[in-house]
């Protein structure tokens, strides 16, 4: 039940944070292992568990990123990470363009600082509201909004600079 | 409204969360400023692509989560193996501070006396050791050699050997005779 409800969120946070499927799978497993070992602390309260899991995912990803920062310089991002768009509304050409765009955007997402990257993942990829992010991560609402805006503008500027070259 | 202010409000503008007044102000600025318009369009483009970055969890990842072995149901974070060192350091520090207290003050006179006499002992030992080392160094090792030779010679001293050989035999004889006499006395007592 918990795995079905939360594994997609956790996996996608990890995947978009590290940009590599194998590492995302390892991180997801580690996070659920932590959950199993501490499950009695939550009294099965939905909100509490969600907040705990999201905070844990964010902190674990940031720790993982920092620990492996120097090893990552030699690691190439998984180039096959593009996401398949719904085939019914896309022609093969559109699909290829979309895959390229997704892979490119994910690659550029890695250039953001870890805390800003997490916020973009939660807001724009996982579609949490500002209020939910603020509540789950225990950050004031105004700060959440301004940080997400900062993350978006910074990423947009990176993309514009790349385009300008 | 300047570009920096627009940059702060751009996300809320795109998501239509600004008040009507602010929204109009941002719109008016965007009509004039090409750079801010480019930024806004790029963010909109990003927001359009972002949802496509979400993937379904591969079946093998779910399997790995469902079938985590029992043996792994322990804390992942490894314990700090050398955490005890800080406690040892703290204990040593406290001990040294306590020694200072007794050495430099007269809070507890017996401890003060013991510490001062121990320090004096250590100092005299250091002086002796220094003198010995200096002596050895000046004699280029001959001093040590002479001590060594003396000890060897004393073991082989013929007078000492003869003394030992002379004395041991009679003593052992006397002892054996005394022992025999004692045994005889006991026997006679027992028979009586």
Chain A residues 11-30 within an 8 A CB cutoff of chain B:
11-12, 15-16, 21, 24-25, 28-30
Summarize the confidence of residues B135-139 as an average pLDDT. 79
Same domain, B104 and B151: yes
Taking one residue from A and the other from B, the number of pairs with CB-CB distance under 8 angstroms is: 104
Same domain, B136 and B170: no
Q: Which of B39, B62, B65 sits opposite A153 (nearest CB)?
A: B39
Segments forming the whole domain that contains residue B161? 157-191
Same domain, B135 and B167: no
pLDDT over 60 at A39, yes or no: yes
A63 touching chain B per CB within 8 A: no
What distance in Å separates the CA atoms of residue A13 and residue A116, rounded to the nearest whole number? 13
What ipTM score was computed for the predicted complex, to two decimals?
Answer: 0.77
How far apart, in Å, are the Cα atoms of A114 and each of A150, B52, B118, B133? 13, 20, 59, 63
CATH 3.10.310.30 fits A2-164, yes or no: no
Q: Give the nearest chain B residue to A108 (CA atoms).
A: B46
Contacts of A25 in chain B (CB under 8 A): 58, 60-61, 64
Query: Is there a domain that residue B67 lies in?
Result: no
Same domain, B9 and B45: yes
Confidence at residue A82, expressed as pLDDT on a 0 to 100 scale: 44
Decide if A105 contacts B42 (C-beta within 8 A): no
Confidence at residue B66, expressed as pLDDT on a 0 to 100 scale: 81
Which of A63-77, A94-108, B35-49 is least confident? A63-77
Query: Is there a domain that residue B46 lies in?
Result: yes
For residue B86, the number of C-alpha atoms closer than 13 Å in the C-beta half-sphere is 4
Which of A35-49, A52-66, A76-90, A104-118 is least confident? A76-90
Same domain, B8 and B48: yes
| Domains of chain B: total | 3
Q: Can you give the residue ranges of every domain in chain A?
A: 2-164
């Amino acid at each position: 039940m918990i795995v079905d409800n939360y594994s997609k969120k956790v996996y996608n946070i990890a995947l978009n944070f590290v940009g590599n499927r194998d590492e995302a799978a390892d991180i997801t497993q580690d996070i659920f292992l932590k959950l199993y070992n501490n499950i009695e602390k939550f009294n099965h309260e939905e909100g509490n568990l969600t907040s705990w899991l999201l905070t844990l995912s964010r902190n674990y990803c940031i720790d993982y990123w920092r620990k492996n920062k120097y090893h990552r310089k030699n690691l190439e991002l998984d180039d096959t990470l593009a996401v398949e768009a719904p085939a019914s509304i896309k022609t093969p050409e559109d699909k290829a363009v979309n895959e390229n765009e997704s892979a490119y955007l994910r690659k550029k997402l890695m250039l953001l600082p870890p805390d800003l990257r997490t916020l973009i993942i939660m807001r724009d990829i996982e579609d949490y509201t500002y209020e939910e992010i603020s509540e789950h991560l225990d950050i004031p609402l105004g700060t959440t909004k301004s940080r997400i805006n900062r993350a978006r503008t910074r990423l947009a500027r990176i993309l514009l600079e790349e385009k300008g070259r | 409204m300047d570009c920096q202010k627009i940059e702060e409000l751009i996300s809320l503008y795109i998501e239509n969360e600004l008040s009507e007044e602010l929204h109009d102000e941002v719109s008016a600025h965007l009509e004039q400023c090409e750079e801010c318009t480019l930024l806004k369009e790029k963010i909109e483009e990003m927001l359009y692509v972002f949802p496509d970055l979400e993937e379904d969890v591969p079946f093998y990842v779910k399997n790995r989560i469902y079938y985590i072995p029992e043996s792994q149901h322990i804390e992942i974070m490894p314990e700090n193996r050398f955490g005890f060192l800080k406690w040892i350091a703290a204990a040593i520090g406290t001990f040294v501070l306590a020694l200072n207290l007794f050495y430099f003050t007269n809070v507890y006179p017996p401890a003060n006396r013991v510490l001062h006499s121990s320090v004096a002992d250590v100092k005299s030992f250091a002086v002796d050791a220094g003198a010995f080392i200096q002596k050895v160094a000046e004699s280029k090792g001959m001093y040590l050699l002479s001590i060594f030779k003396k000890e060897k010679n004393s073991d082989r001293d013929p007078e000492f050997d003869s003394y030992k050989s002379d004395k041991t035999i009679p003593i052992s004889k006397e002892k054996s005779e005394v022992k025999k006499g004692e045994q005889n006395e006991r026997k006679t007592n027992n028979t009586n």
